[in-house]
């Protein structure tokens, strides 16, 4: 598996400013990833639940800290599911996690 792409993991926090307004801020962490297509089975299973998975990112498990949003090639995605494969396909797979994502449009899901 080659990690030929760059992905931004996004942490969102809400703080209160000096006049009491809630202010959201984002912190991005850039990591290397691999990109896969959503499988047919996962696509139809998710569709039945009202989800629309579009893309799967594979990142190093130690770099992922339960972020709920990511950005890839200028587009934001929400993480539907994070999955750690049970069986490794090659020597490095045991440290990977798959992020199944759907697109985000105007702070909502697509």
Report the SS3 class of residue 32: strand
Look at residue 45 and tell me whether its pLDDT is greater than 80: no
CA distance 88 to 73: 28
Query: Quick one: fold of 5-13+29-109?
Result: Thrombin, subunit H (2.40.10)
39, 46 Cβ separation under 8 angstroms: no
* Domain ranges for the chain: 5-13+29-109
Residue 55 confidence (pLDDT): 93
pLDDT in tens, 51-85: 788 899 999 999 999 999 999 999 999 999 998 87
Residue 89 confidence (pLDDT): 62
Residue 107 confidence (pLDDT): 57
54, 38 Cβ separation under 8 angstroms: yes
Reported in sequence order, the residue ranges of 1-110 that DSSP labels E, i.e. its strands, are 5-16, 22-36, 55-60, 69-72, 75-83, 96-105, 108-109
Q: Does 95 or 77 have the greater pLDDT score?
A: 77
CA distance 76 to 34: 16
pLDDT in tens, 2-40: 889 999 999 988 888 888 888 888 999 999 999 998 876
């Amino acid at each position: 598996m080659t990690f030929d792409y760059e992905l931004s993991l996004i942490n969102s926090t809400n703080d209160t400013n000096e006049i009491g307004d809630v202010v959201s801020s984002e912190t991005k962490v850039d990591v290397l990833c691999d990109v896969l297509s959503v499988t047919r089975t996962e696509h139809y299973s998710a569709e039945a639940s009202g989800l629309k998975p579009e893309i799967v990112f594979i990142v190093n498990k130690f770099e992922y800290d339960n972020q709920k949003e990511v950005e890839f090639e200028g587009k934001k995605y929400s993480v539907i599911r994070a999955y750690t494969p049970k069986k490794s396909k090659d020597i490095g797979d045991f440290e990977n996690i798959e992020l199944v994502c759907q697109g985000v449009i105007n702070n909502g899901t697509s």
